[in-house]
Amino acid sequence: MSGHEGRCVEPEDLRPMSKVTYFSGETFPLEMHKVRIIQKLTLLPVEERLRAIDEAGYNTFLLQNADVFLDMLTDSGVNAMSDRQQAAMLQADDAYAGSATFTRLHDKLREVFGKKYFLPAHQGRAAEHILSVAFVKPGMVVPMNYHFTTMKQHITALGGQVVELIPPEGVAVTSDNPFKGNVDLAHVERLIAEHGPENIAFFRMEAGTNLIGGQPFSLANLRAVSHLCRKEGVRLVLDASLLADNLHFIKNREPECADWSIAQIAAAMADCADIIYFSARKLGFGRGGGIVIDDDALYRDLRAWVPMYEGFLTYGGMSVREMEAITIGLDETLDEDMINQGPVFIAHFVNEMERRGIPVITPPGGLGAHVDAARFLDHVDQRQYPSGALAAAVYLASGVRGMERGTMSEQREPDGTEPLSHMELLRLALPRRVFTLSQVNYAVDRIHWLHANRRIVGGLRWTEEPEILRFFYGRLAPIGDWQHALVAKFREDFGPSL
């Protein structure tokens, strides 16, 4: 069994208010908000972009934001807040212990997920740290649909091993499978039988698999995994950081849930998990995170780690103002006119690139549009980091900052060998309620030009390679002089245009 439950009825079926058909017959996504506060953007000349990416060591993480036109690096902590969120921040209770702000957020999480306890943490990777130090012992395995960089680092640093249970179709670049984040259920059974429940720290399901294109899993698959875990006595942990997009896809792609509210789907997913953790830098349009639990014993197992690493139990390293914003943001996550804003704009982004022959991950997932760097730069060896090279080239061509999600994002083995990533992707995240349709279309146009001139682009080599999470702050250099050739071609084709 590969977990194909819940096939698409109409993958492009969107709620009427999230798109509009013009008199010409064309259909475009429609912003369901208006802009009240703006920030000025700067689009540097291409020569200045070359200077900036060179100073950044061809790592888009090291670019200065002042040198970036459209920042599509991530949706983490950069989603636009609503007027209601901004207003809520003014009522924050600054008490170190027993804050009324904490109570409001706790009550909202209990309403959404139906679980008694909330342990706050300053962001998602802090929650990962707490779960890892509490449960992972040397030699243990942590199965999951697919890994995320920081969670894998926490687990391996403690002597654990990550085992991915995504079937081959999950890492297929082009597909009509609506739930590529599903787990291979037969593989789950074999893994539990092979290792024994006592050697499994927990089973992790990531809603919206970040590293393979933001692809969702189905409610049916989650229920099946939950059934197997509970039968064998294995804790099931749900990473709900990208839950909003997964909720949207379940409602629009899983026939059973077509008539359910977003709140009903969220509750059904929560019922499957023993522990839920999240980054509120994604879920809730704020900056923070935490863990929600229903079991008294699990709560006691985890509770002591919060004051030790994060802060007292009623703030956990978060600003109380952000906690107020997250409380309102969770309401907005369940608003069906708001939750679709990410997926429908991402779908437009992906479809417009695909229409121009640019290789992208399909079907469109959550978080952002994902360009297949392996096909885009099929002349660049994977050991020369085509995803990183493409990220640098897109910045040169457009001023758009994306993120490498490929071999650079992996970590070397203890013997120094380098595992090659299953996929080589350039992620172009779409923070919620931030970019306009014209800005998305600009990005499409410049990437289209780059695709037409892709043979100019070469690979990268390390000049400074950190041992841990190297993609965050390592530095690279071009192999050859392709960056100058690309700038010259840009000037030849666009003249004085930016």
Distance CA 219, CA 247 (A): 9
227 residue type, one letter: H
Which amino acid does the sequence have at 406?
G
User: 3-state DSSP call for residue 222?
Assistant: helix
Nearest to 288 by CA among 245, 249, 319: 319
Q: Which two tokens stand for residue 191?
A: 């893994």
Among 49, 282, 427, 470, the active-site one is 282
Answer yes or no: are the C-beta atoms of 461 and 109 closer than 8 Å.
no
**Considering 239, 245, 274, 294, which one is annotated as catalytic?**
239
In the structure encoding, which two tokens stand for residue 408, read together? 């650079």
Q: Does 239 participate in catalysis according to the annotation?
A: yes
110 is known as an active-site residue:
no
Would you call 148 a catalytic residue per the annotation?
Answer: yes
Q: Which residue of the set 135, 203, 349, 471 is catalytic?
A: 471
**SS3 state at 495:** coil
405 is catalytic: yes
Pair 463, 59: CB distance under 8 Å: no
Alpha helix (H) ranges present in 136-279?
149-157, 185-195, 219-232, 243-253, 262-272
Q: Which of 13, 27, 51, 96 is catalytic?
A: 96
- Tell me which amino acid residue 328 is: I
User: Beta strand 141-144 with 161-164: parallel, antiparallel or unpaired?
Assistant: parallel
In the annotation, is 104 catalytic? no
For 253, counting Cβ atoms within 10 Å of its Cβ (0-12 exposed, 13-18 middle, 19+ buried), the class is buried
In angstroms, the CA 221 to CA 169 distance is 15
66 touches 310 (CB < 8 A)? no
- 3-state DSSP assignment of residue 180: coil
Rounded Cα gap, residues 209 and 125, in angstroms: 15
Measured distance CA(117)–CA(103) in Å, rounded: 11
Q: Which residue, 493, 490, 360, 492, is CA-closest to 45?
A: 490
The residue from 15, 93, 149, 489 that is catalytic is: 149
Half-sphere exposure (Cβ direction) of 113: Cα atoms closer than 13 Å:
30
Helix, strand or coil, per DSSP, at residue 289: strand
Cβ proximity of 389 and 376 under 8 Å: no
Q: Is 96 a catalytic residue?
A: yes
> With the C-alpha atoms ordered 81, 85, 86, 90, is the resulting torsion angle positive or negative?
negative
Residue 464 vs residues 57, 380, 396, 470, 474: alpha-carbon distances, Å: 9, 21, 22, 9, 5
Kindly state the tokens that stand for 327.
């409380």
Amino acid identity, position 36: R
Say whether 282 is catalytic: yes
Active-site annotation holder among 148, 202, 285, 490: 148
- Enumerate the H helices of 254-295 as residue ranges: 262-272
CA distance 188 to 165: 7
Residue 277 sits at φ, ψ, to 5 deg, of: -130, 160
Catalytic residue among 115, 253, 405, 427: 405
Question: Mind telling me the catalytic residues?
Answer: 96, 148-149, 239, 282, 405, 471
